Amino acid sequence: MGSKSMEDEVLAPAAAAAGVHLSALRLDGLNRIQDSKEQQTTSGLDNGHQEPFVIGVAGGASSGKSTVCKMIIDQLRDQRVVVVTQESFYHGLTDEELVHVDDYNFDHPDAFNTELFLSCIQNLRRGKAVDIPDYNFKTYKSVPNARKVNPSDVIILEGILVFHDSRLRDLMNMKIFVDTDVDVRLTRRIRRDTIEKGRDIKTVLDQYSKFVKPAFEDFILPTKKYADIIIPRGGDNNVATDLIVQHIRTKFGQHDLCKIHPNLYVIQTTYQIRGMHTIIRDAATATHDFIFYADRLIRLVVEHGLGHLPFQEKQVITPTGSVYTGVEFSKRLCGISVIRSGESMENALRACCKGIKIGKILIHREGDNRQQLIYQNLPKDIANRHVLLLDPILGTGNSAVQVISLLLKKGVQEANIIFLNLISAPQGVHVVSKRFPRVKIVTSEIEFGLNDDFRVIPGMGEFGDRYFGTDD
């Protein structure tokens, strides 16, 4: 039984009530992580611009995609939002195509300049302003560079075939498919094309039966499988839109790496936490103060990590004779500390989990990339347990990979490992998440990165030496 985040617990029942389909029953996954994304830094961008949240909104013609986009924009008042429509990237028709315009299929993937569309979105994600063309549906010509779009917090890509090209899908953090009844879509299309585009009803119906309906079945409907969220009734589904906006706001409250790696959890920072980090990072902090505040931070990380354990409902009788319905967590649990820094986290774990078994693994480093296993002492039944892996600092991730690989060889399920550390370098998070995407990483702060000596910066020095008083 996998653990659920608080967001899942709150959103999933409401989503069901709204008729929203959450693909694979998870709203926080959104996209499978692509290799290109795993190479990004903390900010995700080279120029310091924070990586935007990209939403794809697909569905059949006149399904209500634009209405859904507008509702999202109206509610995201605290963020800058821009909509880029796929219709802006239609190829202009040649003179020969204009003569036979009634035989031109505007719903076919080849009708769009996908390369230009892709280039514009990639530049927006990098924090660069772009010029978007404008397509005239009466002249069937495209006006290049008609609209300048600046980088924004949220980028919405709207169009019938925005899920068709895998390169576009890979840029999206959330994919929404607006699923509306075919008769409703046809009625809306007739109204739109006759009023806005000046077409007669016969032309609209002929085009629908000849191109629109077959293209929907051949190209648009098959992309529904890529959606993270499926919204029935389109813009009429206010509850679904509210849930989507709530999720986006939650994501904005997370570190950028959490958007890339769904298995990464950074505990919510407060001035208390920042204050404790300030103390333990200060090179002038005395050993006893370093130990005191490091222990406090470790306890917070351990408590947060325990919150990701599976649980089941349990009823108890209170002293008043009443029944209280609560939960109990898995008792098949153990800790594994990476000697020797990881031993600093054992007391906090014992304080939270009375009588817990704790094993040890020693990795000897010979240079950055030459780890060697020296010692292991693990519970004999570790394969049947959930494992809390203890190591205060996640740097390059190479030692962590070796430790986790050993646990897997011992029969531990990847999804049953929770890796606890105080600080994590983005490089280490990428390495561990790419190799073990089901291992949960819980940390209290994300660092800037690694220096030329592969040391975490800003970091806190050699944690083990400072904690155990063996530094100079």
Are 268 and 246 in the same domain?
Answer: no
Cα separations in angstroms, 417 against 9, 312, 371, 387: 21, 19, 21, 5
Cα separations in angstroms, 446 against 39, 267, 269, 298, 460: 16, 10, 11, 15, 13
Q: Is residue 44 domain-resident?
A: no
Are 317 and 295 in the same domain?
Answer: yes
pLDDT at 277: 95
pLDDT at 135: 92
| Ordered per-residue pLDDT tens for the chain, 472 residues | 344 443 444 444 455 555 555 543 333 333 333 333 333 333 334 444 467 889 999 999 888 898 999 888 888 876 788 999 999 999 999 988 898 888 888 999 999 999 999 999 999 998 899 999 999 888 889 888 888 898 888 899 999 999 999 999 999 999 999 998 888 888 888 888 888 777 788 888 888 888 889 989 999 999 999 999 999 887 788 888 888 888 887 777 667 788 788 899 999 888 899 899 999 999 999 999 999 999 999 999 999 999 898 888 889 999 999 999 888 877 789 999 999 899 999 999 999 998 899 999 998 765 555 567 788 999 999 999 999 999 999 999 999 999 999 999 999 999 999 999 999 999 999 999 999 999 999 999 999 899 988 999 999 999 999 999 886 5
pLDDT at 257: 82
pLDDT at 40: 36
Are 261 and 227 in the same domain?
Answer: no
Among 200, 228, 252, which residue terminates a domain? 252
Helices (H), 76-178: 95-99, 114-125, 166-169
Are 228 and 275 in the same domain?
Answer: no
Are 210 and 283 in the same domain?
Answer: no
Are 166 and 272 in the same domain?
Answer: no
pLDDT at 85: 95
pLDDT at 393: 96
pLDDT at 18: 53
Render the burial of 419-449: b for 16+ CB within 10 Å, e for the rest.
Answer: bbbbbbbbbbbbbbbbebeebbbbbbbbbee
Are 261 and 125 in the same domain?
Answer: no
Are 283 and 382 in the same domain?
Answer: yes
For residue 199, count CB atoms less than 10 angstroms from its CB and return exposed for 0-12, middle for 13-18, buried for 19 or more. Answer: middle
Are 63 and 167 in the same domain?
Answer: yes
Are 455 and 333 in the same domain?
Answer: yes
Are 132 and 68 in the same domain?
Answer: yes
Q: Is residue 38 domain-resident?
A: no
Q: Is residue 25 domain-resident?
A: no
DSSP for 53-95?
EEEEEEESTTSSHHHHHHHHHHH-TTS-EEEEEGGGGBPPPPH
Among 220, 252, 284, which residue terminates a domain? 252
Give the CATH number for residue 90. 3.40.50.300
Are 140 and 286 in the same domain?
Answer: no
pLDDT at 472: 59
Give the CATH number for residue 414. 3.40.50.2020
pLDDT at 89: 95
d(CA 405, CA 360): 14
Q: Is residue 18 domain-resident?
A: no
Q: Is residue 3 domain-resident?
A: no
> Domain span at residue 224?
53-252
168-439-294 Cα angle (round to 5): 115
pLDDT at 41: 34
Among 252, 284, 302, which residue terminates a domain? 252
Tally of structural domains, the chain:
2
Provide the Cα torsion 434, 439, 442, 446; round to 10°: -10
Q: Is residue 248 domain-resident?
A: yes
